[in-house]
Structure formats: structure tokens, C-alpha cells
Structure 1
Amino acid sequence: MSFNWHSEPLTRDTSVCKHYRNTQNVRRFMLEHCGAKFKFDRGFMAWIGNGVPKTLGEVVDEWLQRNRDGH
């Protein structure tokens, strides 16, 4: 059975698998870790789904890096 992105508890150690989905559960996690300015954009979503293994912690860190100047 695959990971349920809608209801499973998420942590920085959660692996982003090939079945990853941008759910409200993920959005809440990202808002909690990145702040109120968090949003998904096409480039960031493409990076998440690029096939390179990563964790949600790495996803958070990448978003913070991309948006460190408030862009």
C-alpha cells in the first residue's frame, strides 16, 4: 500500500516517493515549516518531482533557499 499524502503524519524525514501529491496535508506542513508566504510554483513543483530521492525536510530547505530574499 502506498503512502497516503492526504492523511498520514508528515515529518522532515518523510520520503518523497513517486506517488507524492501536493495535498492540503502537505500544504499545512509546508506552511508550518516555511511560514505564511509559502506557495507552490511550477519550478518548485518540478524540482520536487524530478525523480531524485528526497525528504520533506529537503523540500522545506529548498523552498527556504529559493525564497530567502523574499521573492
Structure 2
Amino acid sequence: MSFNWHSDQLTRDTPVCKDYRNTQNVRRFMVEHCGDNFKFDRDFMAWIRDGAPKTLGDAVDEWLLRNRDDR
């Protein structure tokens, strides 16, 4: 059975796999970990989908790194 990005529990260890979906569940997770200024942009989405192995924790860390001056 595949992961349900809409309703399954997300953690920093959740792998970002080829069936990743940008859902409200993911957005809530990212806002919780990155703050209210979190937003998806094209460059960040391209990084998420670049095929390299990563987790949602990696995504949080990358977004915070890219936006450290915006917080």
C-alpha cells in the first residue's frame, strides 16, 4: 500500500518518494516546522522533486536554509 500524503502522519523521517504530493497535510507540517512564513516556490519544489533521496526533515532544513533571512 502506498503512502497517503493527504492523511498519513508526517514526521521528519517521512521519505520524499516518487509519489510525493504537495497536499494541505504537507503544508501544515511545513508551517509547523518552518513557521508561518513558509511557502512553496518553484525552486524549492524543483529541489524536492529532483530525485535525490531525502526526507521531510531534509525539506524543512533546506527551506530554513534558503529562507534564513526571511524569518
**Range into which the TM-score falls when normalised by the shorter chain:** over 0.9
Deviations 1:8-34 (A, max 9, x none): 000000000000000000000000000
Which structure 1 residue ranges, 4+ long, deviate > 3 Å from structure 2? none
Per the alignment, residue 2 of structure 1 pairs with 2
Per the alignment, residue 52 of structure 2 pairs with 52
> Normalization by structure 2: what TM-score?
0.97
Name the CA distance, whole Å, in 2 between partners of 1:4 and 1:62. 23
Q: What is the identity, as a one-letter code, of the residue corresponding to 1:58?
A: D
**Structure 2: 5+ residue stretches without partners:** none
Name the CA distance, whole Å, in 1 between partners of 2:49 and 2:3. 16
SS of corresponding position for 1:6: coil
| Greater strand proportion | 1
SS of corresponding position for 1:8: coil
Task: Count matched residues.
Answer: 71
Per the alignment, residue 30 of structure 2 pairs with 30
Aligned-CA RMSD value: 1.0
Per the alignment, residue 40 of structure 1 pairs with 40
Name the CA distance, whole Å, in 1 between partners of 2:68 and 2:27. 19
Name the CA distance, whole Å, in 2 between partners of 1:46 and 1:21. 13
Instruction: Give me the identity figure in percent.
Output: 77
> Normalization by structure 1: what TM-score?
0.97
